[in-house]
Amino acid sequence: MFKLAAIDRRRFIAGTAALGALTLPLRRGFAAAPKRGGTLRVSVDQAVTKLNPLQTRVNCEYLVAELLYSGLTRLGINMMPEPDLAHSWSYSADLTEWTFKLREGLVFHDGTPCTAADVVASFEAILDPKTASPALQNVGPIAQVTATDKTSVVFKLSAPFADLPVTLAYTNAKIVPAAIAKSGLARLDQQAIGTGPFKLVSFEPERLVSVVRNEAYYDKDRPYLDRIDVLVYPDTTAEGSALISGDTDMMVSVQPTEYARLKNSAGVRTLKVPSGQFCNIILGCDQKPFDDVRVRRALALTIDRPTLVDFVVEGYGTPGNDAPLSSAYRFYADQPIAKPDIAQAKKLLAEAGYPGGLTATLIASDKPSVRTQLAVAVREMAKPAGFTIDVQTMPHSTYLDQVWKKGPFYVGFYNMQATADAIFSLLYTSNAAWNETHWNNAAFDKLVGEARTTVDEARRRALYADAQKLMHDEVPSIIPVFFDLLGAQRDYVQRYQLHPRGAVFRLDFVSLGEGAPKRG
Amino acid sequence: MIELIRRLLRTPQGALGLSIVALVLVLILVGPLAAPHDPDTMAPLVRYKGPSPAYWLGTDQYGRDILSRLLYGARATVVMAFLATALGSIVGAVVGTLSAFLGGRADEAIMRTVDAVMSIPSLLFALLIANLLGKSSVDAVMAIGIAFAPGMARITRSVALTVRKQDYVHAAIARGEGGAYIVLREMLPNVVAPIIVEATLRIAFAVMLFATLSFLGLGAQPPASEWGLMVAEARRFMHLSPWMILWPSLAIALVAIGFNLLGDGLRDALNPRT
Amino acid sequence: MSLSYLLKRCGLTAYTLIVVSLIVFAVTQVLPGDAATMLLGENATPAALAAVRDRLGLDAPIWVQYGHWLGGVLQGDFGTSLRTGQAVGPVMVEALGRSLLLAVLAIGFMLSLALPLGILAAVRRGRAADLLVGFVSYIGVSLPEFVTATLFGLLFADWLQWLPATGYVPMTENPASSLAHLVLPVLTVSVMLIAHVSRMVRSELVDVLHTDYIRAARLKGLSARAVLLKHGLRNALLPTITIVALDVGYLLGGVIVVEEIFALPGIGRQLIVAIEARDLPAIQAGALIMAATYSVVNFAADVAYAWLDKRIQYD
């Protein structure tokens, strides 16, 4: 009975959805200037607990921070840096000194001017370990920041670095007033004083964050919306239902299990973009049994990657090849996807000294739930080759405290980074901030290190291709699947594009078209 | 015992409750043997299927057979609930008896503390303890057991106090009955009866609490086929297949109804005086 | 009811709250992974962890932390949330208000159904109506809230589309929409209460109808209706007060799950979030408020019971 109803409805709505897809480009062509005004209601799946832009950690907090604050640069949909507070930049020949020019007449929400001194103070706060800003490890090898005049900022680097304009667009590298950066950052837990396109009206972490247009924003056209309400829906099913019923206008992330339902709902348009977000299985290369590359290869050979994409994300993803770059990255190198080969896996295990198979405990944090789904599926796939895997789930805080970066065998989950260098030197080089596999491969370090100081595109591509090949052969961690990012919106929401990075939203470009509800 | 079952069968609640609980016990004993499939085997091609001749109750997100998972999970679900209740009853009985035995100020202090603990809702209490202990079935059993203990302590204490003063005990002594007779025929049934009734009712509650803990991410963990966990997992997939959430929900409700009916039936059967 | 009784009850309530706070404090101290790990997540470097622990005062000995906390509470300050940096007290009180609205509506709805059903079942004892009420109430007490909530959501919000699935709209913003959003949560928490209370009312009334003085009243020649209304109900409904008060404990547990599912930012949801984040001040305040609510409601019920009981005796 349930089944029949579902199929009928799906078939019916599939027809109308196809029609919508046809007319869409046409309508876009006609819409010359975006309409101004209106309130957008965006839902997120988690509480927005941190308002301080230097300390935000999760996507919904990045979303709010992006509305209220600006960085020197921002990350385009194509993963290239775009001007934000800085309108241009230049670099020295050896890539160790970069100069950024600020726009004229920038002001904070409280009316005070925003100058190079504020930029310097903000970066000093970011680089101070006491601030505990995630940006510290992600903004690049910055040694010193100085203001040469009111609108010029010079970054002196400790090593040559080609990606600085991209890393400065990092989610946490936002500019705050110097006075606050120097004393009492805690003030920013309660109020927002930024230069962003919107100003904070109300902040209830568990329920609702409201922002209104910043009339003093540096761009006279944007933002197009008058107001944005960010609503918190801890239950994803509930979040989807709210969009279907029209309570909300947009979901910035959709669970794969909800996607089909939303796609089949009238008035809702689903969005999908391939991303470099992935789950991996960390194999501690410095501990038994995974210190033996044959054991790592054997486990990798048991995994049926396309099936795993179905199991874990309902097919909304692409199989991975144990290197952290997906096709969404600029320097992705295409390699054939490994096919499962149980016989070969058994042989490798026997050669490594485990003819009778081996037993291991695979740990998965409970957040997000794909970690457990992946672990349970891998457990079954590895069984025929002689791996007896015991899956153990634990609360995220316990996992961070006891397992992460320490354990020999667990499930990781990582957002896409802006550059190849960012993901390699975050996770896999010997001096990586989160060197959890302890692979410590000198050849790999050399490739990544050389690419980071190379400007020539073709040369860089070759270096990164070799690095990916090396990871594919040595399997420091199994990266079986990259996730597509999924979102959904009402038909009348215009100019919203899912960003593959996952942590960037660009809602200041969004406007409301015909049919949008009037909201007081 | 036979007498008790006969009395139990005379009331509609008792008869129905006993049948359901008996059925559940059979499932626990022979369920895995009767399961048509392996509960962990995944089948990529038959995910989210509704009921069919090959899969009587359909399949889940990995293409695993729901019926087989329910049959295997009966053991985990009901036995765990039973253990949690037993643990709570034992701890409660010890505290309650001790309190009644000590009497006076100690009794007052213990019972006030028990009252205080009871003012924390048992779900919240179990939630805190399960968070403290970790995430596993055993930890959830401990959490529920501890959360149940204060209530059981209260009941045991009041029972222990009344029985000690009962007329019929004095009467039996006056009649010159033997010690064994008094303990077995007069005291024991009166001490044990209310506790058994309460414990039976609490098993139903424990099944639900266990399921709720699993729903909140504590309790049983994947790939276990504990019923509450099955419901919790199925919630995410309910728009792909409502069957996945329906069957384990029904199973939980059925077991809870069974124990609730049996508890009420037992109360009637054990208290012929009222 | 003497003054000393009232004083004693107040003392007991205070004792209860201290025990609760000690238990919660003890439990949260041994939880693996502290608020600093949780706050920093994957960005925790040893230096950052130390800085945050220092800022939050997590390095002080336990008793110092407890003393500090207790001192604050006595002055009405529940501390600052480790997670959001906001003052815990006002946030929790606001959340409590939302939960109380849910609870009051649920109790009102429950009474309006449970009393007639219980009376009906008792008067028609052993007949079809009684059996039906009994059967339905067995199902009611045997469904965990998360199952009921899910099924209601599926039915009323997704398939029939009569009601909003979840979310919360403040009364002040839009009363109609606010109430519409409360319907499913109220229904969900009411189910088990209705089942429980209707059974209790039935059994109390059945007992009362068999007591000597009801028989005496019948013998006096009073009509069945008069007997039921004048003597039966009064005596049977009295214990219901206590039962409802005790059920508030269950209700408070129930709102935890219901608020989580329906995205209602009440005290239950605050507590779940706080427990996950190891946000000690928030857990403390939430648990204390719950325990205090329960104690106060039961205190009030006892006073009401004694007062009404006296009136009935001398009636």
pLDDT band per the 50, 70, 90 thresholds, residue C147: confident
Q: Cβ A2–B236 below 8 Å, yes or no? A: no
- In order, the DSSP letters of C113-180 are HHHHHHHHHHHTTTSHHHHHHHHHHHHHHTS-HHHHHHHHIIIIIIIS--S--S----TTT-HHHHHH
**How many contacts (CB atoms, under 8 Å) link B and C?**
122
Residue A154 has phi, psi (to 5 degrees) of: -115, 130
Beta-carbon count within 10 A of A283 CB: 26
pLDDT at A5: 34
Average pLDDT in the A40-60 region? 88
Starting at the edge strand that comes first in sequence, how are the strands of the sheet with A86-91 ordered?
Answer: A86-91, A97-102, A152-157, A142-149
Instruction: Tell me what the pLDDT averaged over chain C comes to.
Output: 81
Going along chain C from its start, the domains and CATH numbers come out as 3-74 (no CATH), 88-308 (1.10.3720.10)
Alpha-carbon distance of C287 to C213, in angstroms, equals: 45
Query: Beta A358-365 vs A387-394: how paired, if at all?
Result: parallel
- If one compares A89 and A7, the residue with the highest pLDDT of the two is A89
Alpha-carbon distance of A448 to A453, in angstroms, equals: 9
Close Cβ partners of B74 (under 8 Å, ≥ 6 residues apart): B24, B27, B28, B31, B227, B251
DSSP 8-state code for residue B46: G
Domain borders along chain A are 6-229+492-512, 275-483
Which helix (H) or strand (E) is A276 found in, with range? strand A268-283
Peptide bond into A336 cis (omega under 30): no
Assess contact for B47 and B59: CB atoms under 8 A. Answer: yes
Q: Cβ A398–C43 below 8 Å, yes or no? A: no
Alpha-carbon distance of A92 to A83, in angstroms, equals: 19
Instruction: Please give the share of chain A, as a percent, with pLDDT higher than 90.
Output: 60
Average pLDDT in the C4-32 region? 81
Q: Which two tokens stand for residue A331?
A: 């320097």
Top residue of C25, C30, C99, C147 to mutate, by most chain B CBs within 10 Å, is C147
Alpha-carbon distance of C223 to A98, in angstroms, equals: 98
Q: Which two tokens stand for residue A254?
A: 């959709």
Q: Flag whether pLDDT at A307 surpasses 50.
A: yes
The chain C residue lying nearest A366, using CA atoms, is C276
Q: Which two tokens stand for residue C62?
A: 């336990």
pLDDT band per the 50, 70, 90 thresholds, residue C307: confident
Q: Flag whether pLDDT at B78 surpasses 50.
A: yes
CA distances (Å), A196 to each of A192, C29, C65, in order?
10, 40, 39
Identify the sign of the CA torsion C250, C255, C256, C262. positive
Average pLDDT in the B247-259 region? 90
pLDDT at A47: 82
Instruction: Tell me what the pLDDT averaged over chain A comes to.
Output: 87
Reduced to 3 states (helix: H, G, I; strand: E, B; else coil), residue C83 is coil
Output b/e per residue, C31-40; b: 16+ Cβ within 10 A: bbbbbbbbbb
Residue closest to A274 by CA, chosen among A229, A225, A313: A313
Top residue of A362, A373, A381, A401 to mutate, by most chain B CBs within 10 Å, is A373
DSSP 8-state code for residue B239: T
Residues of B in contact with A240 (CB under 8 A): 239
Instruction: Tell me what the pLDDT averaged over chain B comes to.
Output: 83
Residue closest to A234 by CA, chosen among B29, C167, C45: C167
Assess contact for A228 and A67: CB atoms under 8 A. Answer: yes
Mean pLDDT check: name the lowest of B28-42, B154-168, C58-72. B154-168
Q: Flag whether pLDDT at A64 surpasses 90.
A: yes
Mean pLDDT check: name the lowest of A71-80, A318-327, C142-151. C142-151
pLDDT at B245: 87
pLDDT at C127: 82
Assess contact for C141 and C190: CB atoms under 8 A. Answer: no
pLDDT at A394: 80
Q: Flag whether pLDDT at B272 surpasses 70.
A: no
Reduced to 3 states (helix: H, G, I; strand: E, B; else coil), residue A282 is strand
- Contact of C249 with chain B, judged by CB distance below 8 Å, is answered with yes
The yes/no answer to whether this complex scores an ipTM above 0.90 is no
Q: pLDDT tens-digit profile of B94-121?
A: 888 788 777 788 888 888 888 888 888 8
Q: pLDDT tens-digit profile of B206-240?
A: 888 888 888 887 778 888 888 888 988 888 888 88
Please give the CATH number for the structural domain made up of A275-483.
3.10.105.10
Q: pLDDT tens-digit profile of B2-30?
A: 777 888 888 888 899 999 999 999 988 98
pLDDT band per the 50, 70, 90 thresholds, residue A354: very high
- Contact of C139 with chain B, judged by CB distance below 8 Å, is answered with yes
Reduced to 3 states (helix: H, G, I; strand: E, B; else coil), residue A414 is strand
Q: Cβ A392–B221 below 8 Å, yes or no? A: yes
Radius of gyration of chain B (CA): 22
pLDDT at B185: 67
Long-range contacts of A365-368 (CB under 8 A, 24+ apart): A365/A393, A365/A394, A365/A395, A365/A396, A365/A399, A365/A400, A365/A403, A365/A410, A365/A411, A365/A413, A366/A393, A366/A394, A366/A395, A366/A396, A366/B135, A366/B217, A367/A396, A368/A413
Range of A285-294, C257-266, C277-286 with top mean pLDDT: A285-294
Residue closest to A403 by CA, chosen among C27, C33, C277: C33
- If one compares A423 and C168, the residue with the highest pLDDT of the two is A423
Q: Flag whether pLDDT at A520 surpasses 50.
A: yes
Rounded to 5°, angle at Cα C156 from C152 and C161: 150
Q: pLDDT tens-digit profile of B32-42?
A: 888 888 888 88
Average pLDDT in the B63-70 region? 92
Q: Flag whether pLDDT at A489 surpasses 60.
A: yes
Alpha-carbon distance of C252 to C266, in angstroms, equals: 11
Close Cβ partners of C26 (under 8 Å, ≥ 6 residues apart): none
- In order, the DSSP letters of C184-197 are HHHHHHHHHHHHHH
- In order, the DSSP letters of A205-241 are TTTEEEEEE-TT-SSSS----SEEEEEE-SSHHHHHH
Q: Flag whether pLDDT at C1 surpasses 60.
A: no
> Strand (E) positions, A60-141?
73-75, 81-83, 86-91, 97-102
pLDDT at B179: 67
Output b/e per residue, B111-149; b: 16+ Cβ within 10 A: bebbbbbbbbbbbbbbbbbbbbbbbbbebbbbbbbbbbb
Q: Flag whether pLDDT at A263 surpasses 60.
A: yes
Q: Cβ C146–B212 below 8 Å, yes or no? A: yes
Average pLDDT in the B66-82 region? 90
Please give the CATH number for the structural domain made up of A6-229+492-512.
3.40.190.10
Residue closest to B200 by CA, chosen among B264, B120, B273, B248: B264
Q: Flag whether pLDDT at A28 surpasses 70.
A: no
Beta-carbon count within 10 A of A294 CB: 17
> Any bridge partners for residue A358, and if so which?
A387
- In order, the DSSP letters of C49-81 are HHHHHHHHTTTS-HHHHHHHHHHHHHTT---B-
Q: Cite the DSSP H helix spans in B103-187.
A: 104-118, 122-133, 137-165, 167-175, 179-181
Assess contact for B73 and B225: CB atoms under 8 A. Answer: yes
Chain C closest-CA separation from residue A517 CA (Å) = 15
- If one compares A206 and C189, the residue with the highest pLDDT of the two is C189
pLDDT at C32: 59
Reduced to 3 states (helix: H, G, I; strand: E, B; else coil), residue A412 is strand
Instruction: Please give the share of chain C, as a percent, with pLDDT higher than 70.
Output: 90
Residues of A in contact with C269 (CB under 8 A): 206, 234
pLDDT band per the 50, 70, 90 thresholds, residue A297: very high
CA distances (Å), B22 to each of A6, B13, B17, B29, B258, in order?
38, 14, 8, 11, 9
Residue closest to A422 by CA, chosen among A456, A464, A462: A464
Alpha-carbon distance of A68 to A46, in angstroms, equals: 19
Mean pLDDT check: name the lowest of A355-364, B71-80, B96-105, C189-198. B96-105
Instruction: Please give the share of chain A, as a percent, with pLDDT higher than 70.
Output: 94
pLDDT at A342: 94
pLDDT at B143: 86
Residues of B in contact with C283 (CB under 8 A): 128
Judge whether A6-229+492-512 and A275-483 match in fold.
no
Q: Cβ A402–C276 below 8 Å, yes or no? A: no
pLDDT at C113: 92
- Contact of A239 with chain B, judged by CB distance below 8 Å, is answered with no
Q: Flag whether pLDDT at C313 surpasses 60.
A: no
pLDDT at A198: 96
Partner residue opposite C32 with nearest CB, options A190, A234, A401: A401
Mean pLDDT check: name the lowest of A102-116, A217-231, C66-80, C230-244. C230-244
CA distances (Å), C185 to each of A243, C47, C101, in order?
19, 45, 11
